[in-house]
Amino acid sequence: MKGGDFLPLPESFMQDLKLKSDIVDVVASYVNLKHKGRNLVGLCPFHGEKTPSFYLYPENGSFFCFGCGSGGDVITFIRKIENLDYIEAVKFLAQRAGMHMPENSYDEGMGRLRGKIYEANREAARYFHKQLYSLNGKNALTYFHNRGLTDRTIKHFGLGYSLDSRFSLTNHLREKGFTDNEIIQANLGFKSKNGATIDRFFNRVMFPIIDLRGNVIAFGGRIMSDEKPKYLNTSDTLVFKKSTNLFALNMAKNSGKRQLILAEGYMDVIALHQAGFTNAVATLGTALTPQQATLMKRYADEVVISYDSDEAGKKAASRGISLLRNAGVLIKVLTIPDAKDPDEFIKSHKDSGPARFKQLIEASGNDIDYRLQCIKLQHDLTQSEGKVAYLSEAAKLLATLYNSIEQEIYAGKLSDEIGVQKETIMAQVHRLAKRSKAERETKDFRAMQTELSARNDKINPQKANNLRCARAEEALIAYLMNNPDMALMAVNQLPCEKMITDFNKRVYKAVTDRELSGHSAQLIDISEGFSPDEISKIAGIISKYSTDLSTADVAQEYINVILAENDKISVEQAVTATNEDITKYLNNLKKNKQ
C-alpha cells in the first residue's frame, strides 16, 4: 500500500505520535534488546536466527535486520509484526500512546473494506453459533458432544454450524447490510457459475479463527461425514493470512507459560484446552511455516510437538523441528502410545487422562532424541550393514548441530549403544560438518555476489544496470536524511528528474520535499508514501551508510557521479546524435572531472 487509502494525516498529529512512540520502547515489547555501542541488537522477530542480526538505531528511529532485510520505522515495525496496513498501524500506536485519531482519516477505500470484513466475520461467527443451538443444528451439536466437548467449551471457542444451504449466511449478511462484494472479499461467499453469490461454508461444524487482538479473521469448517475435503478453510483475505496465524494463540498466549503445545488440528487443540492444557495451538490447514515458527518464539521458549504418530505426522514433525530450531526455541517431541492423537489418548484414560498426558510431556525427549529414534527404526541393528547405515545417518544429523557439547553428548550415547568408539563417531561428524560449512560459505559467497550485483533487487530493478550511479544516489539520500540543511544545495544542483533510478528518485523527492518545507525527513515521516518492503529497502540504505562519515565534499562527489551518468549518451542515442550533442557531452565530462 502506498497511501491513497486514507486522507493525509495532519503533520501535528504525526509529530506528536512520533514523540510518544519511541521505537526502542515499542520494539522492546516484542524483542529482547541489548546495547551495542549507540545502537541496540536482538534476535530478529521476522525470521528465525540464533545470532542477533536485528539492529535498532535510536538516533534516527529506524531498525534493520542484516539477516532477512526487514527494516523501517516504528510504524513499519508494527505493520509487519501485527500484520496491519499503514492506517491501522498508526491507530495501534495512537491507542498505545493514549492519543485520538484525527477525524476523516479514512476514505471509502481499502481501510473501510477491511473494517467491513472484520464486521462480516464477527456477524458470521454469531450466526454460526446461533445455528448450532437451533433445531437445524441438532446433528452438529450432537457431533461436538460425541467428541467429548462440553457446552462450556463450545461457547468458549465460539463453535458453530453452517446450515445445509448455499444461501443461508449470504442472505443473513445481506439483511445485516453487507454487500455481495464485502461477503466475497471476506471469503464467506463466492460467485457461482450463474453469477449468484453463494455461501462458501455449508453443512459443516465451524471453528472461528481469532487474531491476537480478538478479531474474528477466518473460519475452518469440518464436514461431519466421510466426504472430501474433510476441512475447508478461509482463503487469504485482506485481514487473514493462514501462513502467519495460529489457531487458539489468542488464548494460549495468556496461559502463563513460556511453553506452547503444537497440535495437528482444531479438535486436538480444543480437547487439550478442555483438559487444562490451555497453551495448545495448531496451524491452519497447512504445514508449519517459518512465519508461524517465528511467531511462536514470541510467546514461548519451548514448543512441544504433539502430532499424530502416523507417517504423515512424522513427516510434519520433521519439518516443524527444522523450522522451530531455526526460530531458536527448545523443542520436545511427544510420542503418544498406540499411535493415538492427543484427543484420543486423553479420552481413553478417562479421569486420569490429563494427568497421564502431562506425564507424557514431562517424559518426552527433545528433537534430537526423536530424530535419532526415527533413524534407528529404519535399520536392522542386528546386522553390520544396519549399524553402519544407522551411524552414518546419525553422524549427518549431529553434523547439523551448532553446539559442540550437544554433539559430544549424543556421540557418547551412540558409542554406548552400538559399541563404536566415540572418537570415531566424532571424527565422522567433524568431516561432515567441515564439508557442510564449506558448502554454506560457497552459498553465502554467491548470495553476496548476487546482492552486490543487485541482480535480484525487486524494489529497485534499475540498480543492476546502473550500479555506480544507484550507489551514489543511495549514499546521497542517506547523507541528506542526516543533514537536512544540505537539501537546498542538493536540489539546486540535482533536481529530482536528474536521478537515474525511479525508486531512488521517489525517495529523494520525498526526503527533499519535506526538508525544503522545514519538516523532518526521518523514516516515520515519509513511510506513508511507501510499502513496507520499500521502507525496508530505505532502512537498509540508512543502515548501510549510518557509519559513513560523509562531508559536504563527499556529497558533492555523489552529485557529480549522478550528473555524469545522467549526461552519458546511450548507444542508441549515439547513433542519431549530432556533432554538437557529442561535443557538449565531452565538455560536460571534462567539467565533472575537474
- The CATH number assigned to the domain holding 321 equals 3.40.1360.10
Is the CB of residue 293 less than 8 Å from the CB of residue 50? no
Same domain, 117 and 234: yes
> How far apart are alpha carbons 259 and 256 in whole angstroms?
9
pLDDT in tens, 400-436: 888 889 899 999 999 999 999 999 999 999 999 898 8
C-alpha 489: how far from its chain's center? 41
E strands, 118-164, are 160-162
> How far apart are alpha carbons 254 and 267 in whole angstroms?
20
Domain boundary among 372, 387, 411: 372
In a domain, 103, yes or no: no
Which whole number is the average pLDDT over 549-574? Answer: 77
Same domain, 311 and 344: yes
Which whole number is the average pLDDT over 573-586? Answer: 62
What's the pLDDT at 229? 86
What's the pLDDT at 209? 97
In a domain, 494, yes or no: yes
State the number of CA atoms in the 13 A half-sphere of 412 facing the CB: 6
In a domain, 101, yes or no: no
Domain boundary among 96, 123, 148: 96
Same domain, 421 and 388: yes
The percent of residues above 70 in pLDDT, for the chain, comes to 91
CATH number at residue 66: 3.90.580.10
Q: Name the residue with higher pLDDT: 246 or 401.
A: 246
Same domain, 400 and 476: no
C-alpha dist (Å) from residue 313 to 135, 178, 553? 37, 41, 63
User: Which letter, b or e, does each residue of 152-174 get, where b requires 16 or more Cβ atoms within 10 Å of its Cβ?
Assistant: ebbeebbbbbbbeebebbbebbb
Is the CB of residue 450 less than 8 Å from the CB of residue 456? yes
CATH number at residue 223: 3.90.980.10
Q: Helix or strand or coil: residue 78?
A: helix
In a domain, 349, yes or no: yes
What's the pLDDT at 538? 94
Same domain, 287 and 361: yes
- Contact partners, residue 312, CB within 8 Å, separation at least 6: none
> How far apart are alpha carbons 271 and 328 in whole angstroms?
28
In a domain, 543, yes or no: yes
User: Which letter, b or e, does each residue of 373-392 get, where b requires 16 or more Cβ atoms within 10 Å of its Cβ?
Assistant: eebbeebeeeeeeebebbbe
Same domain, 227 and 116: yes
The domain in which residue 535 lies consists of: 461-593
Nearest 10 degrees: CA dihedral of 480, 483, 484, 490? -50
Same domain, 499 and 589: yes
Which of 248-257, 273-282, 302-311 is least confident?
302-311
Question: In the structure, what pLDDT confidence band is assigned to residue 2 with cuts at 50, 70 and 90?
Answer: very low
Same domain, 585 and 465: yes
In a domain, 343, yes or no: yes
Which whole number is the average pLDDT over 198-214? Answer: 95
Which of 173-182, 200-209, 354-363 is least confident?
354-363
Instruction: Provide the terminal-to-terminal Cα distance of the chain, rounded to the nearest Å.
Output: 44
- The pTM score is 0.75
Q: In which residue are the cell numbers 567433524 written?
A: 430
What's the pLDDT at 4? 43
pLDDT in tens, 154-196: 999 999 999 999 999 999 999 999 999 999 999 999 999 899 9
Same domain, 400 and 519: no
* 328 has a pLDDT exceeding 90: no
Please count the structural domains in the chain: 5
DSSP bridge pairs for 216:
210
* 3 has a pLDDT exceeding 50: no
CATH number at residue 563: 1.10.860
DSSP state of 498: G
In a domain, 38, yes or no: yes
Same domain, 159 and 61: no
What's the pLDDT at 49? 80
pLDDT in tens, 10-53: 888 999 999 999 999 999 999 989 999 999 999 999 887 878 99
Same domain, 235 and 260: no
What's the pLDDT at 569? 47
Same domain, 17 and 60: yes
Q: Read off the amino acid at residue 113.
A: L
Q: Helix or strand or coil: residue 567?
A: helix
Domain boundary among 451, 476, 509: 451
Identify the top-confidence range among 70-84, 99-113, 172-186, 426-440: 172-186
Q: Read off the amino acid at residue 427.
A: A
In a domain, 1, yes or no: no
What's the pLDDT at 587? 67
